């Protein structure tokens, strides 16, 4: 069985002082949380803090991630951060197409596909987010929506879809305290896995993460589902004890 991946998404939170406390807290408790078992761990931090957090993580084994990447390679794109720039800071992962970017920054499936391609070209693993809104779920459109979002990135130039990480994040569960039940999440993960299987023989290698109010109390049950390969954690990743509890739940 492949290792679980527990990735924190700090979103637009943190400061030099708070980041130091948070990373030191996670590092201090990591060995105890893992209890000799294995789990891949990452933190996706705001771009200005990449260098700081790279230094704080040091040789802890916790990987560094970004929360977005530009769809452009370089040039006159004020405010954008390119994949090559992320790579300069040893960034291993970049979240792409988070629902907050789709919702507040107008990112389309096409933009998400271009960003995914840029990350891969720079040697960064994109964590591509998919997920339905409450209205879409209520209308019985969950499957259609997540399949459309995944389809946009499934044919990659020169790369295999098995090189990406997928995160299923139902929009109605993000930051609301309303988690999808393990059964609801597993049902969607199974749909995504089937779609990956139709595209590549390596589909079982792909990590499909669940995100949306995952916390210390519900992580174990979610992570026990056959197609839930880890978590993308928002709020609970900002507290070392909560994040470590989720890592403990993911350690195998
Ligand atoms: P919460 O864990 O705060 O619900 O956020 C989930 C998320 O959006 C992670 O990317």
Is the model's pTM score more than 0.85?
yes
19, pLDDT greater than 90: yes
5, pLDDT greater than 80: yes
Predicted confidence at residue 182, as pLDDT, reads 97
Segments forming the whole domain that contains residue 110: 5-250
Mean pLDDT value across residues 4-27: 98
DSSP string, 98-144: -HHHHHHS---HHHHHHHHHHHHHTT-EEEEEE---HHHHHTT-HHH
Domains of the chain: total:
1
pLDDT band at 1 (very low <50, low <70, confident <90, very high): confident
CA atoms within 13 A on the CB side of 157: 8
Mean model confidence pLDDT for the chain: 97
Query: How many CB atoms are closer than 10 A to CB 235?
Result: 18
Q: Is 174 in the pocket of ligand 1 (CB under 6 A)?
A: yes
Mean pLDDT value across residues 170-191: 94
Q: What is the β-pairing status of strands 165-168 and 5-9? A: unpaired
Cα angle 95, 12, 209; round to 5: 30
Look up the CATH number of the domain holding residue 56.
3.20.20.70
Mean pLDDT value across residues 223-245: 98
Nearest CA to ligand 1 atom 7: 234
Nearest CA to ligand 1 atom 1: 234
Specify the ligand 1 atom closest to the Cα of 98.
10
Predicted confidence at residue 157, as pLDDT, reads 87
Q: Looking at per-residue confidence, does 177 or 48 come out higher?
A: 48
Mean pLDDT value across residues 55-67: 98
| Cα of 158 from ligand 1 centre, angstroms | 31
Mean pLDDT value across residues 125-132: 98
Nearest CA to ligand 1 atom 2: 234
Predicted confidence at residue 145, as pLDDT, reads 98
Share of the chain above pLDDT 90, in %: 96
Mean pLDDT value across residues 200-223: 97
């Amino acid at each position: 069985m492949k290792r679980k991946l527990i990735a924190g998404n700090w979103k637009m939170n943190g400061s030099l002082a708070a980041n130091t406390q948070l990373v030191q807290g996670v590092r201090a408790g990591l060995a105890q949380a893992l209890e000799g078992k294995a789990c891949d761990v990452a933190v996706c931090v705001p771009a200005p803090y990449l260098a700081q957090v790279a230094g704080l993580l040091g040789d802890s084994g916790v990987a560094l991630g970004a929360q977005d990447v530009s769809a452009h390679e370089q040039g006159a794109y004020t405010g954008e951060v390119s994949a090559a720039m992320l790579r300069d800071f040893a960034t291993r992962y970049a979240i792409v197409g988070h629902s907050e970017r789709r919702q507040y920054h107008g990112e389309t499936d096409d933009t998400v596909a271009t960003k995914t391609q840029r990350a891969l070209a720079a040697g960064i693993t994109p964590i591509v987010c998919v997920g339905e809104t409450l209205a879409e779920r209520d209308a019985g459109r969950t499957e259609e929506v997540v399949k459309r979002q995944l389809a946009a990135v499934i044919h990659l130039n020169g790369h295999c879809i098995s090189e990406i990480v997928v995160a299923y994040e139902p929009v109605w569960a993000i930051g609301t305290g309303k988690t999808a039940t393990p059964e609801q999440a597993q049902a969607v993960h199974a749909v995504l896995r089937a779609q990956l299987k139709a595209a590549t023989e390596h589909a079982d290698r792909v990590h499909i993460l669940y995100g949306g109010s995952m916390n210390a109390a519900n992580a174990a049950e979610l992570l026990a589902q056959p197609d839930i390969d880890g978590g993308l954690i928002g709020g609970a990743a900002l507290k070392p004890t909560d994040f470590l509890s989720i890592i403990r739940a993911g350690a195998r």
